[in-house]
Structures are given as structure tokens and as C-alpha cells.
């Protein structure tokens, strides 16, 4: 079995494990009651907030791409939706590669450079989440639930995430500043390959480094950082408003803490659409505020289903509008990266 197929199988098994952990001791009747009593009118502002988050993602990507090309925000937003849709339907989070590939074709720029901007985007996402958690901790620093807000496992999760994102950011900065050194390292690592293959890797690496040039721009970095915080502010609002729909007594800071735990939890390898992992980390976060598991799981399933439905339907719409095929894109990405 190919390595990629093994990874797909492992991801599915991990999702099955987390589904079991999430649904273990779940009271179906309580869950049905919670969904029956939900005020679904609250889902309208949830959708609006979620759309604003994606518009902010589009504006941020525009600034990330500025050193390469000035792109229209709407074109970038449509490509983001296509990428997120692919992540929800295809394994191995290939949506990020599809997003870079589609943007490269659409804007006539290097696909590797486009991918580099997405990597930077993900790093800023992670750092924004850590900053939001620190701000949240100030508001959760008092009150009866404060003692349960930051257990040992959560602190470890934050430390690991912070170290990872900062480490990747430093590595990207070094690559951008030391192009020749990066080339030497690539030759050292892949020197055993045939000359044409090694040359292709070096060309892809050089194109990737071109996409890192935004790290030289202090003004753009400040704007990108601010937009990253705005992205997650809107994402956090969806969690808060979603709680209103199910009559959960969550404050804004608590909703943001749930968001951070879920977002960091989604780094765990899993099946497409993060099935099981999303639900498990959501109910684990809500347990910090003594919210009943059946109610918490109903909330997690409702919010996850809503997000999945929006991403897939809007992504497929843009795919159809731009006369693209998901399976053809997947094949083209595989051919391009092989």
C-alpha cells in the first residue's frame, strides 16, 4: 500500500476513535431535546459572522500576495472557499494544495509562491489563536469557572502550538533571508536524486521562497497580523452565537476559549471534514464550563454541520462558476507535485 493510502487509513481510524470518545455515554434523548428546543433564528447571524471571517481571509491573502501580484479580493475569497471545500471532501488536507494551484492558474503566478503565502497565513492563524487565548485568560482570570479554565493538558497544548508556529515562522524567515543556504541544504538532502528531479525541487523551492517576500514588509506584516485577529474574532463570534441557538450559557471569553481548543485540536490528523476530532475537542472545551455532555455534543454537531454545509455548498458553487472539476484538480495537483 502506498504511503498516502496508509495516511488516509490512519486518518479515518483516528476519526473513528474520536467519534467513539465523543459519543460515549451520550444521551440520545437529551440530544434530541436540545435540538428540538433550539432557536434556529440565531443561525442567521452565525452564517453572517462566518462569511465575514472568510472575507477577512480574502483581504489578508491579498496583502500576503502583494509582493507577487495585486489580486482582486473576490477572486481570492472564491479560491479560499474552493480550498476549504476540498479539505472537507478530500483526504490529507489536499485543499491547501488545490487552493494554491487554483490561485496560481487564475492569477498566472507561481503555484509554489502561492503555497508559500498559505503557509505564512497558517502560521499567523496559529499565533493569532495564541494571542486570543492570552487575552481571553485576562477575562477568565476571575470567577467561579476560572479554576477549571486552564487545566494542565491545555497549557501543554498551547506551549506546543506556540513553539511550533514560532519555529515555522523563524524557519520561513531564514529561508527568505538565506536563499543560497536553503539551496545548499536542498542539494545536501536530495543530492542522491537524478539531476532533472533535483533541478525541479530547486526550482519549486526558489518559487516558494519568492512567496515569502512579504516577511520583508513591516507594514504588511502589521496589517496581516491585525487581519488574522479579525478573522478569528469573527470565528469566535460564530461559536458565541451558536451557543445562543442552543441556549448555552457561554460568555464571549468562554466561546473564544472553546474556539481556540477546537482550532488547535483540528491539527490532529483525521478524515476529511475533521469528523470526530471537531466534536471531541468541542465537548472537551465545553466541559471546562460544566456544560452537560449531551448538550455540548448537540452544539458541536450543529455548528460543525452548519460550517460543513456552508463550505461545501459555496465551494462547489464557485467550482461550477469557474468551470472547474474537483477530481480533475486533484489529479492536476498530484501530477504537478510528483
pLDDT tens track for 76-132: 999 999 999 999 999 999 999 999 999 999 999 999 999 999 999 999 999 999 898
Here the cell at position 296 is: 455540548
**Domain annotation covers residue 3:** no
Please give the average per-residue pLDDT across 195-216, as a whole number: 91
Look at residue 149 and tell me whether its pLDDT is greater than 60: no
Q: Taking a C-beta distance cutoff of 8 angstroms, is the pair 46, 306 a contact?
A: yes
pLDDT at site 338: 66
Other Cβ atoms within 10 Å of 199 Cβ, number: 11
Q: Taking a C-beta distance cutoff of 8 angstroms, is the pair 78, 322 a contact?
A: yes
Please give the average per-residue pLDDT across 261-287, as a whole number: 96
Please give the average per-residue pLDDT across 291-306, as a whole number: 96
When pLDDT is cut at 50, 70 and 90, the band that residue 194 belongs to is: confident
pLDDT at site 144: 45
Structural domain span for residue 125: 36-337
CA–CA distance, 47 with 65 (Å, rounded to integer): 27
CA–CA distance, 301 with 297 (Å, rounded to integer): 6
CA–CA distance, 64 with 84 (Å, rounded to integer): 18
**Domain annotation covers residue 14:** no
Look at residue 6 and tell me whether its pLDDT is greater than 80: yes
Look at residue 146 and tell me whether its pLDDT is greater than 70: no
**Domain annotation covers residue 2:** no
Considering only residues 146 and 77, tell me which one the structure prediction assigns the higher pLDDT: 77
Environment class of 92 (CB within 10 Å of its CB; exposed 0-12, middle 13-18, buried 19+) = middle
pLDDT digits (tens, 9 = 90+) for 259-270: 999 999 999 999
Considering only residues 181 and 144, tell me which one the structure prediction assigns the higher pLDDT: 181
pTM of this structure: 0.94
pLDDT digits (tens, 9 = 90+) for 17-56: 999 999 998 999 999 999 999 999 999 999 999 999 999 9
Here the cell at position 89 is: 471532501
Average pLDDT, the chain: 93
26 to 30, 59, 87: CA distances (angstroms): 8, 41, 28
CA–CA distance, 116 with 74 (Å, rounded to integer): 20
Look at residue 3 and tell me whether its pLDDT is greater than 80: no
pLDDT at site 139: 81
**3-state class of 26 per DSSP?**
coil
Write the DSSP symbol of residue 91: S
* DSSP secondary structure string for all residues of 234-301: HHHHHHHHHHHHTT----HHHHHHHHHHHHHHTTS--SGGGTTHHHHHHHHHHHTTT--HHHHHHHHH
When pLDDT is cut at 50, 70 and 90, the band that residue 1 belongs to is: low
Look at residue 272 and tell me whether its pLDDT is greater than 60: yes
**Domain annotation covers residue 10:** no
Look at residue 140 and tell me whether its pLDDT is greater than 90: no
Give the count of domains, the chain.
1
Considering only residues 198 and 53, tell me which one the structure prediction assigns the higher pLDDT: 53
pLDDT at site 147: 43
Amino acid at each position: 500500500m502506498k504511503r498516502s493510502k496508509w495516511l488516509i487509513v490512519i486518518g479515518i481510524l483516528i476519526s473513528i476513535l474520536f467519534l467513539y470518545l465523543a459519543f460515549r455515554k451520550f444521551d440520545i434523548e437529551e440530544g434530541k431535546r436540545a435540538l428540538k428546543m433550539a432557536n434556529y433564528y440565531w443561525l442567521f447571524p452565525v452564517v453572517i459572522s462566518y462569511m465575514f471571517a472568510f472575507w477577512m481571509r480574502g483581504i489578508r491573502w491579498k496583502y500576503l500576495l502583494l509582493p507577487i501580484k495585486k489580486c482582486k479580493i473576490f477572486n481570492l475569497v472564491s479560491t479560499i472557499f474552493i480550498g476549504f471545500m476540498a479539505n472537507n471532501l478530500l483526504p490529507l488536507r489536499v485543499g491547501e494544495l488545490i487552493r494554491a494551484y487554483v490561485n496560481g492558474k487564475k492569477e498566472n503566478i507561481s503555484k509554489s509562491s502561492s503555497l508559500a503565502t498559505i503557509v505564512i497565513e497558517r502560521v499567523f492563524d496559529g499565533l493569532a489563536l495564541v494571542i486570543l487565548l492570552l487575552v481571553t485568560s485576562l477575562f477568565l482570570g476571575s470567577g467561579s469557572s476560572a479554576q477549571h479554565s486552564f487545566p494542565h493538558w491545555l497549557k501543554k497544548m498551547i506551549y506546543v502550538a506556540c513553539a511550533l508556529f514560532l519555529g515555522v515562522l523563524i524557519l520561513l524567515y531564514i529561508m527568505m533571508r538565506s536563499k543560497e543556504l536553503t539551496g545548499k541544504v536542498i542539494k545536501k538532502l536530495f543530492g542522491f536524486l537524478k539531476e532533472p528531479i533535483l533541478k525541479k525541487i530547486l526550482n519549486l523551492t526558489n518559487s516558494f521562497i519568492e512567496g515569502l517576500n512579504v516577511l520583508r514588509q513591516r507594514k504588511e506584516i502589521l496589517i496581516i497580523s491585525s487581519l488574522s485577529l479579525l478573522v478569528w474574532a469573527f470565528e469566535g463570534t460564530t461559536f458565541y452565537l451558536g451557543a445562543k441557538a442552543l441556549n448555552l450559557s457561554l460568555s464571549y471569553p468562554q466561546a473564544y476559549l472553546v474556539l481556540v481548543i477546537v482550532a488547535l485540536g483540528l491539527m490532529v490528523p483525521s478524515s476529511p471534514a475533521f469528523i470526530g476530532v471537531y466534536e471531541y475537542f468541542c465537548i472537551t472545551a465545553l466541559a471546562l464550563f460544566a456544560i452537560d455532555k449531551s448538550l455540548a455534543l448537540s452544539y458541536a454537531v450543529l455548528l460543525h454541520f452548519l460550517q460543513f454545509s456552508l463550505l461545501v455548498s459555496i465551494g462547489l458553487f464557485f467550482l461550477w462558476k469557474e468551470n472547474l472539476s474537483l477530481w480533475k484538480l486533484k489529479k492536476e495537483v498530484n501530477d504537478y507535485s510528483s
